[in-house]
Structure 1
């Protein structure tokens, strides 16, 4: 009787230890949970306030800028007594910033290409000049339904909600109109002579008028 009972116990113990007989597989829990990576954003950095840079000189020369590489800058050049070619270049993605003849005052933008920020500006002029680089606060703000007029090259702010702009220009030379809405940049117009057009746009953003001899009027809606 004792031998039979011992045999039963040995058989029961062997059955309990046999692999894969009525039991699932136990797996150890991972020590580190897998956390999905956050999505990569392609939106440009939000504009922030940056102190204005001012540079002065006489005749041809160059200067270095410490403008933040991740911020759009607005470059204004003033040479009221220039009498010959005024040419301004940079080592940034925009290349030629100004190409005019005679007295000049106008505004353009720089640092529109994240991989090629402007660090050096080269001036070709024959008189005393002043160059400034400013942030968005230096620009005039347009308003829907209200015409804004000017002469020469300029950059204007567009408020949110604007979807169209009416643009008229009088000039003997070339005139171009650009839009920069952060992740969207496009050439809206590029022609020679007088023009009257309407173009689709998207605010908030910036509009740039190219054409140093141009008298223009712009009306957003």
Structure 2
């Protein structure tokens, strides 16, 4: 009786091994023809002239902007009677444009991410304010070999041929320096606290953003 059962079990195992599997899909190699479409490269948009737009308000609020999605904008905010936090945010690729305390006047870049263009700007302030978005023509050029002095947040052009900058600042707060040669190529080259005098390698042409709303500073390209 034991031999008959073992023989029957062996037949069942062999039959199971020959049966097609159930409950699982079958992987089939698919032949895909090579693509003949040319590779697409991300080419930065050429700066073009765009009429400036100005918005005004009092206290906290928000406004819509029609700034072109493919153009970097330069955002200037002026709130001379602000006495509390001044915070400017957008729905675009930037995490924030301004974060300051008290009276504020400064410029930062915006709309630097073509995949997340800015459509709305949110303002947190406690006094009347003016916000202006302008194109590349609004940004001053820091001339090679000459010292440019300023205060607070600012953006400047570095001309072609510049390879190094000397930067000094007097402040009790933080100082950040950003260099942008194209919207997809932005580098933080300085992030310190307090008074400083430094030199950094850069490559012009480029934009340089000073991120220090309460600092007095000088910049000398070479």
User: Does TM, scored on the shorter chain, surpass 0.5?
Assistant: yes
Cα distance in 1 between the residues matched to 2:141 and 2:45: 20
The C-alpha deviation readout for 1:161-205, integer Å capped at 9, x for no partner, is 111111111110011000000142100101111111111111111
Equivalence for 1:211: 212
Equivalence for 2:17: none
SS at match of 1:68: coil
Q: How much does 1:38 deviate?
A: 5.1
Cα distance in 1 between the residues matched to 2:40 and 2:157: 28
Structure 2 residue runs without a partner (length 5+): 1-35
SS at match of 1:155: strand
Equivalence for 1:67: 67
Equivalence for 2:84: 84
Equivalence for 2:168: 168
- Larger-gyration structure (1/2): 1
Q: How much does 1:98 deviate?
A: 0.5
SS at match of 2:131: strand
Q: How much does 1:159 deviate?
A: 0.8
Aligned residues: CA RMSD: 1.3
Cα distance in 2 between the residues matched to 1:37 and 1:219: 47
Q: How much does 1:112 deviate?
A: 1.1
Cα distance in 1 between the residues matched to 2:43 and 2:153: 27
Cα distance in 2 between the residues matched to 1:198 and 1:57: 40
Structure 1 residues 139-178: aligned runs within 5 Å: 139-178=139-178
1:194 aligns with 2:195: yes
Cα distance in 1 between the residues matched to 2:163 and 2:148: 16
The C-alpha deviation readout for 1:54-80, integer Å capped at 9, x for no partner, is 000001000000000000000000000
Cα distance in 2 between the residues matched to 1:126 and 1:143: 37
Give TM-score, length-normalised by structure 2.
0.81
SS at match of 2:74: strand
Cα distance in 1 between the residues matched to 2:191 and 2:214: 14
The C-alpha deviation readout for 1:18-55, integer Å capped at 9, x for no partner, is xxxxxxxxxxxxxxxxxx75553323111000000100
Equivalence for 2:185: 184
Cα distance in 2 between the residues matched to 1:42 and 1:198: 31
Cα distance in 2 between the residues matched to 1:72 and 1:42: 15
